[in-house]
Structure 1
Amino acid sequence: MNLLPRTAEEFSSAGYWERFFKKRGEKAFEWYGDYNKLCGVLHKYIKVQDKVLVVGCGNSELSEQLYDVGYKHLINIDISETVVTHMNQRNAERRPDLAFHQVDATQTPYEDCSYQAVLDKGTLDAMASEEEGALARNMLTEVSRVLCVGGRYVCVTLAQEEVIKLAVEHFVQLGWAVRLHCLQEERGKEEDSFALPVFVLVCTKFRQPMPMPILEMCLGEDGAPVRHAQVVELLSAVREHQSYSVLRKRLRTSTDASSNLSLTLCHAKTGLPRYTLTVQDCPPGTKVPRSNQFAIFIVPQGSETAWLYSSSEGRRQLAASANFRRLVIVAMHRNQEYTDMQSVQSELSPMVMDLAPPGMPVNQQVPFLSVGGDLGWREEVASGVSQLSGQYIVENVKGEDGELYRRLVFLSNAALIQSESRLVALSAASSQKKKNKRKSKAAAAPVTPSNSLTVDSGFLCCSHHEVMVAGLTMVGVGTPQNKDVPLSVLLVGLGGGGLPQFLRDFVPNVTVEVVELDPVVLEVAQQWFGFQPDDRLIVTLGDGLERICALEKEGGRLFDVIMFDVDNKDSTLGMSCPPAAFVETPILQKVCSLLTPRGLFILNLACRDPALRKTVLERVSGVFPTILSRKIEEEINEVLLCSRVEKEAPDAARILPSLSQSAKNLQSALYSNRTEPHRKPHIDIAELLKDIKVE
């Protein structure tokens, strides 16, 4: 026999509760926990001498247990005649002063300001579903009326969003103080508990309404209150605790190697994100040493976006190499200070067991893993706002190789590095000296002050940029017959300017036009990434598609190479580079018409959706007869090299051997074209072309 209501409306139906208690009989029904679970927080807010109104008491033993520990002024009301009769009979001899009355909580007969406390365990939740909350509002109005100044409404609730929003807004409008306690289940009891945590809402009545709302959240019965400025912030904190409780229960009762469960832990005082924890389980059947049940891996600051830590495949590989049944991968957030590894471990240790795998003993030691025991290093050097892309930061980080790097990151997609450059000391001699030191002791490399660093324009941090440069072999750059032939490049997408500056500095006879939509990106590139336009490297501010259409319409100007290196702001699509409009057939045809006879179209493609990738390739191949592709290792990116020249049918594979000598020519040309002796291109063209294939 199922006694639980089938619809939300039944919760607030008097008829339902009458039938419920007749069927249930004498056995007590404890919504959201018994006295032992609730007594700590109840005793904190309800004094023994207080006159207390218990609304919707049901046949819970809570009032009886409160009475037995000294609360002698309890008035219990319920809408069910059956339960009121039963409770009076049950307590007639042992608790003659414990009163139970059949009263509708929305229309009580009690005088104004006649109670010091109103206790509600689940009644608000039951009423809130009826008539869009009208019944619950009527009850809360009665609660407000019967409570005296300094009195408290103490409500035990699951705090589902519409319910808690209704109650909090009601009391905030009255100028009362509102506090929520989130009660966590004891470890090891998740199997028998609610998926959602139980909250205790405490609303205190003041003589004069508070001019500013007092909204607080506490973790547990004794947790320090965290103040929130707005109702929406408090509700957000409730959702976070609920999400954590659901995740905690799931993790403690099951494992799933295919899921990527993650949660964000916020700073207790500021409320800002401090840690992101991602749980990675080993696949079923994996042989793991008995002692290797659970471990925590701390990702060095500045390495969060690395493939090993940010991708599903990378995290699975990391977990497999660590060989633990469950690995929790912890990333540290920007704008947060971390003293050392010991302090991070101390912060995380209290909650570690909440994420332990099923069946692991509570007292088992959990190891913390890291890369060389180092937290890494990060320094924010600039920040600002772009009207097109939102907030951004420029930061220096120390890589796991011990080198220093500068990055541009837009916070709307903080997991993506928009641009990155390697930093070196201003003095070439100093740079080489520090490089030798790092080789011998990378983990202990000193952090160089920002004002003594400069961008190494010969080093391309992005692997796809290296492949795009290597693709110039297809237009014969560096070959004897092209020794003095000019090379014109149109590049859509500036970023930090590393790619176009490399082309200008090392590719012989090149002129580059870069089209950049966002003027802020150009400002950042010039100020923080050493980007310096000149007569061989010009920047056109504007939409890349519009620029291509305008060039095609004007006619008379052709390019040897056109490159697309622009990201997609729409994260809902399965393609993050380029935006879909850039690979529509009409645009591809315009690109083709703007190329010289030897011309090459180079596309940075990042597409997670196999069907969408197939569509893109079909469109590109419909315009360009020859396409070579190079997958970027440990990334979703691939570079497409698209030529107007027909394949050498039927043996298309002849294209690849012909690139071998061209690679040597380009490598030599890049090295010999450097303008300063201490500057050199850090690139291996032959290696980059090894894994290229014909589409």
Structure 2
Amino acid sequence: MSLLPRSAEEFSSAEYWEKFFKKRGDKAFEWYGDYNTLCGVLHRYIKVPDQVLVVGCGNSELSEQLYDVGYKNLTNIDISETVVTHMNQRNSERRPGLTFQQVDATQTPYEDGSFQAALDKGTLDAVASEGEGVIARNMLTEVGRVLSVGGRYVCVTLAQESVIQLAVELFVELGWAVRLHCLQEERGKEEDSFALPVFVLVCTKFRQPMPSPILEMCLGEDGAPTRLSQVAELLAAVREHQAYSVLRRRLRTGTESSSNLSLTLCHVKTGLPRYTLTVQDCPPGARVPRSNHFAIFIVPQGSETAWLYSSAEGRKQLAASANFRRLVIVAMHRNQEYTDMQAVQSELSPMVMDLAPPGMPANQQVPFLSVGGDLGWREEVSRGLSELSGEYCVENVRGEDGELYRRLVFLSNAALVQSEGRLVSSNTASRHKKKNKKKVKPSAAPKSSSSLSVDSGFLCCAHHEVMVAGLAMLRVGAQQIKDAPLSVLLVGLGGGGLPQFLRDFVPNVFVEVVELDPAVLDVAKEWFGFRPDERLVVTLGDGLEHIAALQEGGTRQFDVIMFDVDNKDCSVGMSCPPAAFVETSMLQKVRSLLTPRGVFMLNLVCRDPDLRRSVLERVSAVFPTILSRKIQDEVNEVLLCSPGNKETSDTAVILQSLKQAGESLQAILRSGVGREPHIDVTELLKDLRVE
């Protein structure tokens, strides 16, 4: 079959379905299933004594098969005289009671309520695209008229989105109950069967219209129904099943090392997302042991945002380390309970075998891999809604180093941690060095979040560490930093970890933070230990407008200006900052606000090399000296920009000139609030390079 959709989105594409039905042509179409495939669900909703109207019977054998097992009250109609004549001739002797009539399904001669069931196998699919759906609506309205109270419209369909939406919305408007069964495919028949699952739509007529919609989805012919509240949820569930069927077909018939195919598995009872599976194949020619066909890797809860699991590059590295032909990487979802690793494996086992690579022996055991054999730990402590950024959650997680962390995650981009802080007991101060992490077995989860607080001396974001180390570019001695005020303007608050660190550990610093989202400020203060005061102030507003106002006022300057602000539009290829922040006019405003010794620091997250080059050209046109540092295992890089004359391009000379300033800065940070921060300035400065 050459018409497999390439993505789930195509299931709502009229062009795809038009091409599909044209390809199908006039051939007798039994891909929807014969009696043996459909009998379970048909017998559940259509009783043998029922008067049954078979709508658009065509030349399908289903009516004949039903007749043979006892259904003698079948009224078959079709608009085609040729089909009706042929079917009557074919059954006149063997099935004398089975008749076929030439009738237009949109205007039948039957009395109101004269049938207990209406059976439709593919007819709705065939007519829904004609006349902009008018014919389909007329047909369904007529079906509703001729069905008695308690009668059912049973429709076998491929569930093209526009088709199923039309039918469901019509019957919901009439106050009927709607249930949809997704019939599971038989394994091992991918080559000679249609790739999409077959659905059976069952709509039940009530004497009085239902006051609120009854919408249900069932997996298989006898699966427990999952109640849904909106038609959109039902359509989304249909797309999930269709996408899984297509993905299964693709994976069972080929390998694609360059693509990261993924799908979401939902809880059968609740319908909520439970697992996200990403398939990573080894590239052609990779040396893989002959027995290493297939493995499943379980990502610990709280670690799914790590570079190794969330990025394409990281997953490739993970697959190469595991050294299997195919690795399925499984991430667990928030707001779901998981008992233990054995329970997760048992839950996944029946499903993941469908994703095995082609040619894998049927009796091959599939290993489950993990980090330390533990599911990890996650606790949601708060959830809220930002008018600007949507729904968010604050959660505590246990890292792979055994330490506890608190995170802010916006659910519109759940794979990205917006802010993070390390947690310590409220009455103790942790002295562990970040650079000396050791893999430890996670201990029991804390009983209460109230006993934990965020350690302001620990910067979880590596780019924040580089920004702090970049203060060495001011090239002032320890005594000067102690005695002279230092002014910092930071655009982008997040959880407040960076500005709070500066406030706590840099003497005489004044930090002004510009934050667009009031909800972020509330979260930072309530959950991340952010404590504004006379030396740490927050201005709520647009960073671009604030900088323009400062520049126009002409009365204030800053020693350091930092941009650490996310771009909400991911389509431009630059996640941080928004493009307007690196336009030449804005960069010139920033330069005018810097003191003569000042430094501009930019957290740049750009996957597009051409776009990155363009940004660097604009920045270098305004700031002659640029030092950069890539963040290991991340896309982030920090640009440290000076408005002074361009320095030597000899990296060794630059590093030597910064070494003494870095040592002075380290000494100052250690004397901040009577405890040592977890940062090694000298080490961070070693990896700087001249742009």
Residue number among 654, 671, 674 corresponding to 2:672 in the alignment: 674
Shift of 1:160: 0.6
Contact 1:168 1:231 in 2 (8 A): yes
Equivalent in the alignment of 2:61 = 61
Shift of 1:197: 1.3
Instruction: State the alpha-carbon separation in 1 of the partners of residues 428 and 394 from structure 2.
Output: 24
SS at match of 2:388: coil
Shift of 1:432: 6.1
Instruction: State the alpha-carbon separation in 2 of the partners of residues 434 and 10 from structure 1.
Output: 61
Percent identical:
79
Contact 1:31 1:121 in 2 (8 A): no
Equivalent in the alignment of 2:208 = 208
Contact 2:182 2:220 in 1 (8 A): yes
Instruction: State the alpha-carbon separation in 2 of the partners of residues 161 and 238 from structure 1.
Output: 8
Gapped regions of structure 1 (runs ≥ 5): 1-5
1:116 aligns with 2:121: no
Q: Does the C-alpha gap of structure 1 residues 442 and 382 become closer, same or farther in structure 2, counting only changes over 3 Å?
A: same
Moved more, 379-388 or 298-307: 379-388
SS at match of 2:538: strand
Shift of 1:121: 1.0
The letter for the 2-side match of 1:176 is W
Equivalent in the alignment of 1:230 = 230
Equivalent in the alignment of 2:270 = 270
1:183 aligns with 2:190: no
Instruction: State the alpha-carbon separation in 1 of the partners of residues 516 and 599 from structure 2.
Output: 23
SS at match of 2:570: coil
Equivalent in the alignment of 1:504 = 503
Equivalent in the alignment of 1:532 = 531
Contact 1:11 1:126 in 2 (8 A): no
SS at match of 2:442: helix
SS at match of 2:75: strand
SS at match of 1:442: coil
Contact 2:649 2:690 in 1 (8 A): no
Equivalent in the alignment of 2:475 = 476
Equivalent in the alignment of 1:291 = 291
Q: Normalising to structure 2: TM-score of the pair?
A: 0.93
Shift of 1:208: 2.4
Moved more, 363-372 or 120-129: 363-372
Q: Does the C-alpha gap of structure 1 residues 440 and 313 become closer, same or farther in structure 2, counting only changes over 3 Å?
A: closer
Instruction: State the alpha-carbon separation in 2 of the partners of residues 214 and 535 from structure 1.
Output: 57
Shift of 1:650: 7.0
Task: String of CA shifts for 1:381-409, please: whole Å, max 9, x gaps.
Answer: 22222222222222111110000111112
Equivalent in the alignment of 2:196 = 196
Instruction: State the alpha-carbon separation in 1 of the partners of residues 549 and 20 from structure 2.
Output: 66
Equivalent in the alignment of 2:7 = none
The letter for the 1-side match of 2:283 is P
Contact 2:302 2:377 in 1 (8 A): yes
Shift of 1:440: 8.8
CA RMSD of aligned residues (A): 2.6
Instruction: State the alpha-carbon separation in 2 of the partners of residues 441 and 136 from structure 1.
Output: 63
The letter for the 1-side match of 2:77 is I
The letter for the 2-side match of 1:108 is T
1:549 aligns with 2:545: no
1:608 aligns with 2:607: yes
Instruction: State the alpha-carbon separation in 2 of the partners of residues 446 and 217 from structure 1.
Output: 37
The letter for the 2-side match of 1:549 is A
Shift of 1:507: 2.2
Contact 2:401 2:440 in 1 (8 A): no
Equivalent in the alignment of 1:3 = none
Equivalent in the alignment of 1:248 = 248
Contact 1:11 1:129 in 2 (8 A): no
The letter for the 2-side match of 1:675 is V
Instruction: State the alpha-carbon separation in 2 of the partners of residues 545 and 272 from structure 1.
Output: 39
The letter for the 2-side match of 1:69 is V
Equivalent in the alignment of 1:693 = 689
Moved more, 275-284 or 363-372: 363-372
Q: Does the C-alpha gap of structure 1 residues 484 and 172 become closer, same or farther in structure 2, counting only changes over 3 Å?
A: closer
Gapped regions of structure 2 (runs ≥ 5): 1-14
Q: Does the C-alpha gap of structure 1 residues 32 and 409 become closer, same or farther in structure 2, counting only changes over 3 Å?
A: same
Q: Does the C-alpha gap of structure 1 residues 666 and 365 become closer, same or farther in structure 2, counting only changes over 3 Å?
A: same
Instruction: State the alpha-carbon separation in 1 of the partners of residues 655 and 416 from structure 2.
Output: 33
Q: How many residues align?
A: 675
Q: Normalising to structure 1: TM-score of the pair?
A: 0.92
Moved more, 587-596 or 173-182: 173-182
Moved more, 163-172 or 394-403: 163-172
Q: Does the C-alpha gap of structure 1 residues 300 and 10 become closer, same or farther in structure 2, counting only changes over 3 Å?
A: closer
Instruction: State the alpha-carbon separation in 2 of the partners of residues 402 and 62 from structure 1.
Output: 61
SS at match of 1:360: coil
1:632 aligns with 2:631: yes
The letter for the 2-side match of 1:153 is Y
Shift of 1:148: 2.0
Instruction: State the alpha-carbon separation in 2 of the partners of residues 328 and 635 from structure 1.
Output: 22
Instruction: State the alpha-carbon separation in 1 of the partners of residues 631 and 304 from structure 2.
Output: 19
Contact 2:177 2:215 in 1 (8 A): yes
Q: Does the C-alpha gap of structure 1 residues 272 and 691 become closer, same or farther in structure 2, counting only changes over 3 Å?
A: same
1:214-363 to structure 2, matched below 5 A, reads 214-363=214-363
Instruction: State the alpha-carbon separation in 2 of the partners of residues 8 and 382 from structure 1.
Output: 44
Moved more, 322-331 or 106-115: 106-115
Equivalent in the alignment of 2:6 = none
Shift of 1:538: 2.3
Shift of 1:651: 5.2
Shift of 1:223: 0.7
Instruction: State the alpha-carbon separation in 1 of the partners of residues 234 and 294 from structure 2.
Output: 33
Contact 1:273 1:333 in 2 (8 A): yes
